[in-house]
Amino acid sequence: DAKTTQPPSMDCAEGRAANLPCNHSTISGNEYVYWYRQIHSQGPQYIIHGLKNNETNEMASLIITEDRKSSTLILPHATLRDTAVYYCTLSQGAQKLVFGQGTRLTINP
């Protein structure tokens, strides 16, 4: 079973920041937080991962709380192409990913 909890759906206006929350209250010390997204009819696409520090790459930022029990994925300037299902998952390494149902993010024009 997935060890993360995400809202089933969210909406965001195009050009605004999309903030996707994830709860992982039972995370263990050596587990990373991974985010993937899945655009319709495609395979999941890696976005970002982190252990305890905040991370940023060209796609998004990942904010992990100090107690590591929750995190937020931030898409700074959402576009229509960011409409997808976003999965938050935990893993001791990317080799063992357990996906929940994710958050269906809709970007509105």
Partner 1 sequence: EAGVAQSPRYKIIEKRQSVAFWCNPISGHATLYWYQQILGQGPKLLIQFQNNGVVDDSQLPKDRFSAERLKGVDSTLKIQPAKLEDSAVYLCASSNQLVPTDTQYFGPGTRLTVL
What is the binding site for partner 1 (CB under 8 A)?
2, 32, 34, 41-46, 49, 87, 92-102
Closest distance to partner 1 from the beta carbon of 18 (Å): 19
Do the beta carbons of residue 71 and residue 48 sit within 8 Å? Answer: no
Q: What tokens appear for 37 in the block?
A: 């997204």
Residue 102 C-beta: closest distance to partner 1, Å: 6
Nearest approach in angstroms of CB 48 to partner 1 is 10
**Closer to partner 1 at the Cβ: 40 or 109?**
40
* Residue number with CB closer to partner 1 (53 or 95): 95
Both structure tokens of 35: 């985010």
Cα dist. 93→41, 51, 68, 81, 97 in Å? 26, 10, 16, 28, 8
Tokens of 99: 């996906």
Nearer to partner 1, 10 or 14 (CB): 10
